Homo-oligomer: A and B are copies of this chain.
Amino acid sequence: MAEGVTPQNEDYSRWYTDVVQMADMADYAPVRGCMVIKPYGYALWENIHDALDRRFKDTGHVNAYFPLFIPMSFFEKEAEHVEGFSPELAVVTVGGGEKLEEPLAIRPTSETIIGHMYSQWIKSYRDLPVLINQWANVVRWEMRTRLFLRTTEFLWQEGHTAHATSEEAVEETLRMLDVYTDFAMNEAAIPVIPGRKSDSEKFAGAINSYTIEAMMGDKRALQSGTTHYMGQNFAKAFDIQYLDQNNELQNCWTTSWGLSTRMIGAIIMAHGDDKGLVLPPRLAPIQVVIVPIYKNDEERVPVMEAADSRFQQLKAAGIRVKLDDRTECTPGFKFNDWEMRGVPIRMEVGPKDVANQSVVLARRDIPGRDGKSFVSWADLETQISELLVTIQKAIFDKALAFREAHTYNVETIEELTKAVDDGFAMAWWCGSRECEAAIKAATKSTNRCIPMDQPGGSGKCIHCGAESTEKAIFGKAY
């Protein structure tokens, strides 16, 4: 890490791409708009995968795998869906050297092909609910791309469920919104706002879409996960029907929900600073890095021995630990390198520490002396486990305080315009598309969501003045 990243306040966008590349998270691929997720970035995705997958299974879901290819005709079956996704499709026209009779789209999302299969699998009310998730790659032909945030191909999970009643489908949609919220808050340490999307921002083909909305370090919003209640739209388009207890044919009620590698971008921008990444301990590929410090061979032997013992000690305790035993670079270089990679705790082991049978722990989230502590070898696992919990909470609290400091209750369009330059604006909104469009045009911000957590009461719509019962959040968004 010869040089640092562009400072955030100089150019946030450049800071972001600098960090992604210098922390070895991802690289540009030789195909337009595509990325390579490098091992360090992929290890973070594996931890995101595991934390989510556990939650999916705990809520009764199973995984399956559906084809990458979707016949073009499938998209035509749901009018809003085709309108939403057609412009973004990558299309296979040649297979095995021959032109295909029907071109195949690469899945941009799998409602259509999964709906087709469900129509064959679901016969009776006894087959319901169907609660399936898929981990997969998807492709959307994007014009402007950015590593993790918007790429032509990305990795995600997409849940697709079918239910006997509208109530159950709505319940599922909100349950998965809770799952995403819980994941974001407790694993990614990001204080997201769960909310409902406005009609103009919802998924193509949904009745209602829900989002977890996060504030990034530049005060812009990032939609970090979404769940959709489809009503019977896809059931009707794909004949997903079941015989009810009275032997009558009914349409199912379906949902879908997805969270993608974009979450990695959210983690980078929610917590990162001018030294690089700051990773939440629960998801960090490496939670503790041990840097041995010695001046000569005489010091090296006992230091390396102590460092290696600490490594074994922590590894046995289930802590994700790495011993940086590189001989070609200095401790100072290593400090910078691991700060760039956002490792929550750095452990320094020098000759004095060996003599004292202790180590120095330095927190990534608190620079300098304030973040340092001296801990004895004896109860190191316990101390580190507790410190990891402390850091997890600290970076969440920091992000929450930041968001709260940059969220404004506004009552006029002028206030809103000013507020969205410095964060989120909360405003009464009547719910009409017209007012939403007018606000967007006037302020260059978008309606991020109508938070599930509402203040209650009512007030005047910030645009038309009509009595409104819900507040919406407006902001500039990725």
A interface residues (Cβ-Cβ under 8 A, vs B): 27, 29-31, 34-39, 41-43, 45-46, 62-71, 74, 86-97, 103-104, 106, 113, 116-117, 120-121, 126, 132, 136-137, 139, 141-143, 152-153, 155, 328
Give 10 A-B contacts (CB < 8 Å), ordered by A residue: A30-B116, A36-B64, A42-B64, A65-B155, A67-B153, A86-B97, A91-B94, A91-B95, A95-B152, A106-B106
Minimum C-beta distance from A110 to chain B (A): 11
Q: Which B residues are in CB contact (< 8 Å) with A65?
A: 36-37, 42, 45, 155
Q: Which B residues are in CB contact (< 8 Å) with A67?
A: 29, 31, 34-36, 153
With A37-B64, A96-B88 already in contact, the answer to whether A30 and B155 are too (CB < 8 A) is no
| Structural contact, B92 and A39, CB atoms closer than 8 A | no
| Structural contact, B68 and A42, CB atoms closer than 8 A | no
With A93-B91, A126-B328, A153-B68 already in contact, the answer to whether A63 and B36 are too (CB < 8 A) is no
With A29-B113, A63-B42, A66-B29 already in contact, the answer to whether A95 and B34 are too (CB < 8 A) is no
| Structural contact, A31 and B69, CB atoms closer than 8 A | yes
Q: Which B residues are in CB contact (< 8 Å) with A35?
A: 67
Q: Which B residues are in CB contact (< 8 Å) with A153?
A: 67-69
Task: For the A-B complex with A27-B117, A42-B64 known, give 4 more contacts whose Cβ atoms are closer than 8 Å.
Answer: A43-B62, A68-B106, A95-B141, A96-B142
With A96-B89, A141-B95 already in contact, the answer to whether A70 and B31 are too (CB < 8 A) is yes
| Structural contact, A96 and B141, CB atoms closer than 8 A | yes
Q: Which B residues are in CB contact (< 8 Å) with A106?
A: 68, 92, 106
With A31-B70, A328-B126 already in contact, the answer to whether A63 and B43 are too (CB < 8 A) is yes
Q: Which B residues are in CB contact (< 8 Å) with A70?
A: 31
Most buried by B among A31, A63, A66, A88: A31
Report how far A121 CA is from B90 CA in the complex, Å: 29
For residue A88, which residue of chain B has the nearest CB? Answer: B96
Q: Which B residues are in CB contact (< 8 Å) with A30?
A: 71, 74, 113, 116
For residue A45, which residue of chain B has the nearest CB? Answer: B65
CB < 8 Å neighbour of A92 from B38, B74, B92, B97: B92
For residue A138, which residue of chain B has the nearest CB? Answer: B68
For residue A31, which residue of chain B has the nearest CB? Answer: B69
Minimum C-beta distance from A177 to chain B (A): 23
Report how far A255 CA is from B62 CA in the complex, Å: 35
With A27-B117, A126-B328, A328-B126 already in contact, the answer to whether A36 and B96 are too (CB < 8 A) is no
| Structural contact, B39 and A64, CB atoms closer than 8 A | yes
Report how far A143 CA is from B121 CA in the complex, Å: 27
Q: Which B residues are in CB contact (< 8 Å) with A132?
A: 39
Q: Which B residues are in CB contact (< 8 Å) with A43?
A: 62-63
